[in-house]
Amino acid sequence: MKKVIGIDLGGTSIKGVVMGEDGAYGEALRIPTEAYKGGEHVLASIMSLIGELLGTVGDQPVAGVGIGTPGFVDGDGTILGGAENLPGWKGVQIYAPITERYGLPVAAANDVTAVALAELKFGAGRGVKNIVCFALGTGVGGGIVIDGKLYAGSHGMAGELGHIVVETGGLQCACGQNGCLERYSSATGIVRLAIDYASSADVDTPFARLVRKNPAEITAKIVYEYVAQADSLAMKVHHTACEMLGRAAGIMMNALSPDRIVLGGGVMMAGDIITNTVKTYAARSAWPAIFERCEVVPAQMGEDAGVMGAGALALERF
Amino acid sequence: MKKVIGIDLGGTSIKGVVMGEDGAYGEALRIPTEAYKGGEHVLASIMSLIGELLGTVGDQPVAGVGIGTPGFVDGDGTILGGAENLPGWKGVQIYAPITERYGLPVAAANDVTAVALAELKFGAGRGVKNIVCFALGTGVGGGIVIDGKLYAGSHGMAGELGHIVVETGGLQCACGQNGCLERYSSATGIVRLAIDYASSADVDTPFARLVRKNPAEITAKIVYEYVAQADSLAMKVHHTACEMLGRAAGIMMNALSPDRIVLGGGVMMAGDIITNTVKTYAARSAWPAIFERCEVVPAQMGEDAGVMGAGALALERF
């Protein structure tokens, strides 16, 4: 059976697996990223992890390496930017050194795009051809699969869905625009909404009092604990976050008429309440005939989605 | 050389050509649509036009038929709707009868999608792989080309770009939403903006006076005649139309990171002033690294873009 290596580069750790054609893999190996040491150090760590993984396969041939990385990757394997958590990663050429040392072809893609591919092959996108994934984490990432294949755009930059404007003249975003999706529906955005909404003293709910007392300790998880108790302030935050995501989902439905919109990332630990609410709002933002033919579903892959997507990328290419 | 038939179905007439692999074709044949006679009549007219075109090729084999139609076409050739100008067209199965009578395979797509393919193969999209076309006509249509191939979405409905919301709580659209692109940047939208902006009597420009005197006779062409004279009211309409289109272009850049955004349709007769102004506004709505790598260009194909795109669709499939 064909085997490939999948690498998931994160701000904290680098994970790697050896994966078979069926998506099966053994235990993931993990090393610290030590991002502060710079881009060349990160590349050296990836290379040594690949060496370690190759050591586990014995004589079995490996067809190639897939890598999921924050930011954008150009067609030749150069990091173009967009990876703010990895200083010095921009400009690094990642294909040539790996191919030179190990004689293996390499394919890299944005980490969320890789997750989208994992969902397509093994998770919430199985059996269909076109999906759009929103990853709700610290920011909002996007991954697009077209005709069963990862769509990276002309320069590896497609899927910048967190910066779709969903509220004209809305909240200021670090990117310079106002009203970006990320400002409302990421974990960070949800927490900021909570702090903002709770700032008025005449909002008096258990959640509002907690936020006013410990604003620095509020997380999206805590917001959804109060949503589960139907706290009216937490519900208001939830509805804003889901309405904005519903608008973006509606836009993507109108543009691409995909089979499924897949919602993933840490925020989705809150479960079906988000999927269902987003769906309600998306219905108002999409052409009805398109909406009727597009499901809104939660991601199915757990924390290994990144390495699985990277492996799937290598399986697809090599 | 491989030959195909390209058919462009419009609300007024049906055009057809026999096209070679190089995109060359003789004179287009044209018959009236007589849309009021219903969907089966339209199909019969298309069939007779195909017969007429086959009569012109003598013994040369024809590989297939491509059809561009308003609305959405499902994978099996059933019209799913979205063709308001063609009563009774929804639900008609167009592949089977043509294949049965002439023994030719048929591929149909939305008319604007077909135009996008024509631009890709023969016009403003040559030499690149990913383009997004906005067709500014009575409404705003969209066509998306991914990896050199027409992208129709899972049910032939992709590219409904006219109903992307670009202004939260904006002007009411017939689709039920507020602030749809089409409401501002179509020929109809531009005229309505002009009438709206001119309604205040303290706006006193030559264009404002004309609009107040003959609101029913204003067209997008007239608006742009006054834009050419730098009439301040006409310029205001122009800037609103282009800002809204720039926002939608920015959204599509963020989502798909295409090589080019192509602007076509009747409104684009006004020329470069629209392209340049849209570009300025799009820069504010797209991630800078993506915007820098995406051109905004006018469509190059003239009024035969529809039949050429339909022919190109057949060339691509058969």
* Least confident range of A16-20, A119-123, B66-70: A119-123
* B161/A287 CB distance under 8 A: no
Of B151, B157, B167, the CB nearest to A289: B157
CA–CA gap between residue B108 and residue B85 (Å, rounded): 18
Of B130, B156, B252, the CB nearest to A255: B252
* Residue B167 Cα, gap to closest chain A Cα (Å): 6
Place of tokens 């586990």: A56
With cut-offs at 50, 70 and 90, classify the pLDDT of residue B72. Answer: confident
User: Which residue is closest to B290 within chain A, CA to CA?
Assistant: A157
A106-131: average pLDDT: 91
B111-119: average pLDDT: 89
Distance of CA B37 to the CA centre of its chain: 24
Q: Looking at the predicted structure, is the pLDDT value of residue A43 above 90?
A: yes
* pLDDT: which is higher, B80 or B237: B237
B11-19: average pLDDT: 93
Distances (CA, A) of A107 to A78, A259, B172: 11, 26, 46
With cut-offs at 50, 70 and 90, classify the pLDDT of residue A301. Answer: confident
pLDDT digits (tens, 9 = 90+) for A210-235: 999 999 999 999 999 999 999 999 99
A104-118: average pLDDT: 92
Q: Looking at the predicted structure, is the pLDDT value of residue B302 above 90?
A: no
> Tell me, what's the pLDDT at B154?
86
A190-200: average pLDDT: 95
Decide whether A3-110+302-317 matches A161-298 in CATH topology: yes
CA–CA gap between residue B129 and residue A152 (Å, rounded): 12
Instruction: Answer whether CATH 3.30.420.40 is correct for domain B3-110+302-317.
Output: yes
Mean pLDDT taken over chain A:
93
* Residue B241 Cα, gap to closest chain A Cα (Å): 15
Q: Are B134 and B264 in contact (CB under 8 A)?
A: yes
CA–CA gap between residue B190 and residue B223 (Å, rounded): 8
CA–CA gap between residue B70 and residue B81 (Å, rounded): 9
With cut-offs at 50, 70 and 90, classify the pLDDT of residue B271. Answer: confident
Integer-rounded Cα Rg, in Å, for chain B is 20
With cut-offs at 50, 70 and 90, classify the pLDDT of residue A3. Answer: very high
Distances (CA, A) of B264 to B37, B101, B137, B145, B190: 30, 35, 8, 15, 15
A53-57: average pLDDT: 94
> Tell me, what's the pLDDT at B138?
83
Buried/exposed A244-267: b ≥16 CB within 10 Å, e otherwise: bbbbbbbbbbbbbbbbbbbbbbbb
A270-287: average pLDDT: 95
Q: Which residues of A touch B170 (CB under 8 A)?
A: 168
* B289/A154 CB distance under 8 A: no
- Give SS3 for A82: coil
* Listed residue (B208, B280, B297) closest to B246, CA to CA: B280
- What is the share, in percent, of chain B residues with pLDDT greater than 90? 78
B225-231: average pLDDT: 97
For A161-298, which CATH superfamily applies?
Answer: ATPase, nucleotide binding domain (3.30.420.40)
CA–CA gap between residue B100 and residue B218 (Å, rounded): 47
Of B154, B167, B168, the CB nearest to A293: B154
Q: How many CA within 13 A on the CB side of residue A183?
A: 19
* Least confident range of A136-140, A193-197, B192-196, B312-316: A136-140
CA–CA gap between residue B65 and residue B4 (Å, rounded): 6
CA–CA gap between residue A121 and residue A117 (Å, rounded): 6
Separation of first and last alpha carbons in chain B = 13
Q: Looking at the predicted structure, is the pLDDT value of residue A202 above 90?
A: no
With cut-offs at 50, 70 and 90, classify the pLDDT of residue A309. Answer: very high
> Tell me, what's the pLDDT at A157?
87
Instruction: Give Cβ neighbours of residue B228 (< 8 Å, ≥ 6 apart).
Output: B273
CB pairs under 8 A between A and B: 140
Q: Looking at the predicted structure, is the pLDDT value of residue A168 above 90?
A: yes
Domain residue spans in chain B? Answer: 3-110+302-317, 161-298
* Residue B212 Cα, gap to closest chain A Cα (Å): 30
3-state helix/strand/coil string of chain B: CCEEEEEEECCCEEEEEEEECCCCECCCEEEECCHHHCHHHHHHHHHHHHHHHHHCCCCCCEEEEEEEECCEECCCCEEEECCCCCCCCCCCECHHHHHHHHCCCEEEEEHHHHHHHHHHHHCCCCCCCCEEEEEECCCEEEEEEECCEEECCCCCCCCCHHHCECCCCCCECCCCCECECHHHHCHHHHHHHHHHHHCCCCCCCHHHHHHHHCHHHCCHHHHHHHHHCCCHHHHHHHHHHHHHHHHHHHHHHHHHCCCEEEEECHHHHHCHHHHHHHHHHHHHHCCHHHHHCCEEEECCCCCCHHHHHHHHHHHHHC
Place of tokens 């890789």: A114
Interface confidence (ipTM) of the complex = 0.87
> Tell me, what's the pLDDT at A37?
95
pTM above 0.90, yes or no: no
Neighbouring CB atoms inside 10 A of B206's CB total 13
* A157/B290 CB distance under 8 A: yes
DSSP state of A27: P
> Tell me, what's the pLDDT at B82?
78
With cut-offs at 50, 70 and 90, classify the pLDDT of residue A282. Answer: very high
> Which residues, numbered 174 to 203 in chain B, qualify as contacts with chain A under a Cβ-Cβ cut-off of 8 Å?
175-177, 179
